[in-house]
Structure 1
């Protein structure tokens, strides 16, 4: 008769511990000291607009994130705006992804491999970054995990029609959150080729994939008209290849240790394509148009977690043959050592300094530095996000460059007057607060409007106050006395 602890271990599903572990990692320092950076500020302000206002916005910008914004609008309506409401969906989505990794790993390489893979996912530095991010990338990872688990189910001969409907729905949902996630389809294609899938699996996969792609195609085509939004992404350089190369090297080593065979369903057959194909695919796309950002293929790290988990599982089995009693401590020891080794990065990613700026930090300084009759300028106009998420801090300040508000214009930063009108409005002011980027993150001033703002302030105004905090800066200018 099995002992109570052994019986309990058999009853506890393998995915439960990775889910609890990932949620704990996500809740740790979730508010990041009540900070909010510029990408999350976009989610924050759009989520508080009405559905009609959001649709108006999507016609101009950010249509690729439209479904995510509508989801967050619903959550903000139900639970109210806050950093917990903003980031908790990413925490829960990453936990779902960890559960999928654990189940896949268990099916293909044993319980220890599945448990290790599920625990490893939440420790990966990039995953820890987006684990607490008010953006859609963790949700895409969850969908990728679900679709990959369904594919494995099909390759094991256990899929029904409902499984394929769910597969196509998961792929489509991911594509509607970020259509670059469609690169999971060629990754799954490689898995089908590797395992020499049967004709029925091929036909059903083709139908599900084609249906999901067709469903996402309107979004893909429409978003091409907004490609200017990613014009800031730098062209591909050699140093940008270091990260993917390291990931592929680690994943490749894990695949070799799995001793894969053609025609056999294994962790290598699933995890290596899931890791490599999206990474290489994004690199290839970036040769045509610069698009290489690791968050676009965050879901590929599920493949890395699977491969690392299998390596740890093999180590546990190897130890078990020589040291049966000690082998039960191999996995906890590996996770503990990894957690301690990554602790500095974990702490850093939970600090406000982990992001390029903090939209909320400067609001208190604006409250303190403003005075009756003061005007405010934003340079560039995108820094108006501070006012959008902290409107109370800017009450009483006249936004003299603004011609149409972000909500009314269906944009994130509003529509500003032309350069001549901005110049005239500035010269009529005695005191101006300028909200801009701190020098360490500021980009060169571009555009006639922004050049005019900078030139008029330099020529006709003097600095009487300046405060920089977490990538943002507010400077108080007063009109110089006319030369005598």
Structure 2
């Protein structure tokens, strides 16, 4: 939601950091809206382009299979697992009913919401800084690797990041006194509750917002209103908080991952590649350096005892708190209970973009003498950032980009060789989210007419998000192979899954075909 109070660039000699002047001319608000939503459109297109190319991976399979269930089945499942994603699954359920469950379809909502996120970043930065800063932030957030990743993924992270931006925007307007009245605090509380429904750890932003109020020396009245709105948001989000905490065991696999290693945190969390991470952290250090210089200068020029009530919100302090506090809390908690992977702080990606943009604009201003020179240099630095993002962006849109998963390849190979009436067996020896059986449910075309002879409980009837299966021995005992003359075994981790019990009932391996991450074995009797 745009503001009618548009900040002007600081006059010559003014402090461009914490102190700045604002214009109250409302006539330019329409222009700001058009610029913001133009950047939002561009960002949505950037995230959407090529998003349909990579194979689904485990988390996306959970999204699609959960959303395809009948609603009673979905609610039953959420009582056992994935309650933290329940709101997203419900929304995706309605979307799939209209647009289908193809990779293009189910990833499109995230791209569209990334556009809303980018427009929100423009409005937020424009609320506190000049148009130059806002444009730079919108450009960076549109191409930031973490953003282009979740903007092309069928998960809830784009939604959480978008809600985070707009919640911060509303809070800043309230703290700065440019939005008043109970309805704005109600809106803030609704956004915070909605954010928790997109993902449980969104609630950590309450700590970030407390830092914003402290930095701005907000009044007691503002603190009270914020506390009431935040408390109401917690109460409204209590169902997902209770269910999410009770289901924490479902992420126990994180204890065996390297997600909290230093390279993972510094590179994977927001930047994707080593070179972009070097550039990104360098610009963040630059932004912090200018913040320190601003604080020192402001203290020198302040009158003695100048600790008066109220001061402008510092965009850099806000972004630093937003970037580091949720990350720090989760990493600290990870020392006790595994609870961290880089995508869990996706809602802090806008903060990373704001800090990079701040580093670009402030560095350009410090290295030049005129406004025109500063604009040219800032544009050149943004071009460097964009070029650095290209390898990661292209890599995100290759067929096997998502955790090297290739289920579309498995479906294609099976479809090219199998015939209706044949049986298919899937390797069940891998973790659930890696099992090749998910190729059947996410890319069903290659399996049309085949008999899933080891299926025990279809996913729509199970309490877990995926189907359950019998062992091959059990399926044989149940007579599932009676009348079958040809079987296709999709091997993943091993090259002999189920072959021994099949050999005992007369099947012989006659051919095998490579697929990405799997081997399709043909057996006849």
For 2:123 and 2:152, locate their aligned partners in 1 and report how far apart those are by CA, in whole Å: 23
Deviations 1:45-89 (A, max 9, x none): 332332222223222322221111110111122333333321121
- Alignment partner for residue 258 of structure 1, among 279, 291, 309? 291
Deviates more, 1:230-239 or 1:90-99: 230-239
Mapping of residues 127-206 of structure 1, within 5 Å: 127-159=147-179, 160-206=181-227
- Alignment partner for residue 461 of structure 2, among 388, 400, 408? 408
Tell me, yes or no, if structure 1 residue 327 matches structure 2 residue 374: yes
For 1:410 and 1:238, locate their aligned partners in 2 and report how far apart those are by CA, in whole Å: 28
For 1:22 and 1:366, locate their aligned partners in 2 and report how far apart those are by CA, in whole Å: 37
Following TM superposition, by how much is the alpha carbon of 1:430 offset from its aligned partner in structure 2, in angstroms?
A: 4.6
- What are the ranges of 5 or more consecutive residues in structure 2 without an aligned counterpart? 1-26, 271-279, 296-306
Residue 453 of structure 2 contacts residue 481 of structure 2 at CA under 8 Å; is this kept in 1? no
Residue 56 of structure 2 contacts residue 442 of structure 2 at CA under 8 Å; is this kept in 1? no
Mapping of residues 69-84 of structure 1, within 5 Å: 69-84=89-104
- Alignment partner for residue 398 of structure 1, among 451, 459, 465? 451
Residue 383 of structure 1 contacts residue 413 of structure 1 at CA under 8 Å; is this kept in 2? no
Residue 369 of structure 1 contacts residue 476 of structure 1 at CA under 8 Å; is this kept in 2? no
Deviates more, 1:455-464 or 1:253-262: 455-464
Following TM superposition, by how much is the alpha carbon of 1:392 offset from its aligned partner in structure 2, in angstroms?
A: 4.3
Residue 102 of structure 1 contacts residue 117 of structure 1 at CA under 8 Å; is this kept in 2? yes
- Alignment partner for residue 417 of structure 2, among 364, 369, 373? 369
For 1:319 and 1:21, locate their aligned partners in 2 and report how far apart those are by CA, in whole Å: 30
Mapping of residues 199-348 of structure 1, within 5 Å: 199-235=220-256, 240-245=261-266, 250=282, 251-259=284-292, 261=295, 264-318=312-366, 322-348=369-395
Tell me, yes or no, if structure 1 residue 111 matches structure 2 residue 159: no
For 2:118 and 2:234, locate their aligned partners in 1 and report how far apart those are by CA, in whole Å: 25
For 1:279 and 1:173, locate their aligned partners in 2 and report how far apart those are by CA, in whole Å: 20
Following TM superposition, by how much is the alpha carbon of 1:348 offset from its aligned partner in structure 2, in angstroms?
A: 0.7
For 2:467 and 2:138, locate their aligned partners in 1 and report how far apart those are by CA, in whole Å: 43
- Alignment partner for residue 453 of structure 1, among 474, 482, 498? 498
For 1:334 and 1:252, locate their aligned partners in 2 and report how far apart those are by CA, in whole Å: 15
- CA-atom RMSD in angstroms: 3.0
For 2:474 and 2:325, locate their aligned partners in 1 and report how far apart those are by CA, in whole Å: 51
Residue 17 of structure 1 contacts residue 115 of structure 1 at CA under 8 Å; is this kept in 2? no
Q: TM-score, normalised by structure 1?
A: 0.86
- Alignment partner for residue 421 of structure 1, among 467, 474, 478? 474
1:62 counterpart residue number: 82
Following TM superposition, by how much is the alpha carbon of 1:349 offset from its aligned partner in structure 2, in angstroms?
A: 0.8
- What are the ranges of 5 or more consecutive residues in structure 1 without an aligned counterpart? 1-6, 446-450, 480-484
Q: TM-score, normalised by structure 2?
A: 0.79
For 2:327 and 2:136, locate their aligned partners in 1 and report how far apart those are by CA, in whole Å: 23
2:401 counterpart residue number: 354
